[in-house]
Amino acid sequence: MFETAIAGSLPKPSWLAETEKLWPEWKSSGADLDRAKADATLLWLKVQEDAGIDVVGDGEQARQHFVHGFLTQVEGIDFAHKVKMGIRDNRYDAMVPQVVGPLRLAGRVHASEARLARAHTGRRLKFTLPGPMTIVDTVADRHYGGGKEGRIRMAFAFAELLNQEARALAADGVDIVQFDEPAFNVYMSDAVEWGVAALERAAEGLTCKTAVHICYGYGIKANIDWKGGLGEEWRQYEQVFPALAKSRIDQVSLECYRSHVPAELMRLLDGKDVMVGVIDVASDVIETPEQVASTIATALRHVPAERLFPCTNCGLAPMRREVAEAKLAALAEGAALARARHGR
């Protein structure tokens, strides 16, 4: 009951990459970099286990960014000539690679870190991939014709590749494959119209559990400013949750603590496991176990206990390492407190 998980990313140690950045530069290259990525993955597995997190992950230590990490193994993408593009409906500019030809996987994307993590933890292992709609919103299209039709075609092309990697991850022993779709909170009608279908294509035939993470983004300034203009009630989830409830995806990860998301929207996910965000990623203030337990109690009014998984609101990647470590501990301690209060 109340098993804890993290949304996905964790800060990179200073010997691996630049710190407190969303697109950090690596500190080494070649075999040295591979070794450093593996060491950081092992380090974070140990930290998660020691904190008492139940469903652990690789902390995305082997990828520069949650979207571009996957794209590095996709043929048809020109990484050498990135262009500036407004992403998430022009919330902020990013340097993005260009899709210049038919998309194809050059090989496995995350085999080494998934197998390494599997070999070194007995806990349940969750592995994250970007969702097709969010990928489409983080690349520049020079091949699929642009416009809405082009975006849909490109999304399903990416979904096919994601499915190949997701199946391979399940074969590597991953227990949960999670697709990150922050774009679902930005383009709500597109998400309902074709985003969920593309997501289901990415998850097709998976024998492990499947999840989707939908958030209001990392705790960076552009996102905090955007949230400031969303009003008193954030009802974005209201549009996409009913479509997800009808989908074959098993679990949904959402933002809750210190957001303006009305808790009753979780009811729209009837029948799904709900990973409830009880840790804020936009503040360095460490949650108390009492605050975490209180958020869990609020969610419990709308989600059955056996389907409630306390989680972080989003990834912790751009945070300071010691802050992230303290937040992991708060997450586990708060869940333990809630377990003591609510039963088994």
- Residues of this chain that bind Zn ion (CB under 5 A): 215, 314
| DSSP assignment of 64-105 | SSTTHHHHTTEEEEEEEEEEEEEETTTTEEEEEEEEEEEEEE
Nearer to Zn ion, 144 or 257 (CB): 257
φ, ψ for residue 88 (rounded to 5)? 50, 55
- 30's tokens: 């070649």
- 59's tokens: 């902390």
Burial class (CB in 10 A: 0-12, 13-18, 19+), 149: exposed
Nearer to Zn ion, 129 or 314 (CB): 314
Q: Which of 171, 167, 58 is nearest to 121 (CA)?
A: 58
Is the Cβ–Cβ distance between 317 and 11 less than 8 Å? yes
Nearer to Zn ion, 28 or 239 (CB): 239
Nearer to Zn ion, 98 or 312 (CB): 312
Residue type, 191: A
Q: How far is the CB of 108 from Zn ion (least distance, A)?
A: 24
Q: How far is the CB of 73 from Zn ion (least distance, A)?
A: 22
Q: How far is the CB of 36 from Zn ion (least distance, A)?
A: 25
Measured CA to CA, the distance from residue 197 to residue 158 in angstroms comes to: 12
Nearer to Zn ion, 98 or 253 (CB): 253
Q: How far is the CB of 65 from Zn ion (least distance, A)?
A: 12
3-state secondary structure of 230: coil
Q: How far is the CB of 33 from Zn ion (least distance, A)?
A: 25
User: 306: how many CB neighbours lie within 10 A of its CB?
Assistant: 11
Q: Which of 96, 131, 276 is nearest to 212 (CA)?
A: 131
Nearer to Zn ion, 98 or 223 (CB): 223
Q: How far is the CB of 227 from Zn ion (least distance, A)?
A: 13
Q: How far is the CB of 315 from Zn ion (least distance, A)?
A: 6
Nearer to Zn ion, 157 or 211 (CB): 211
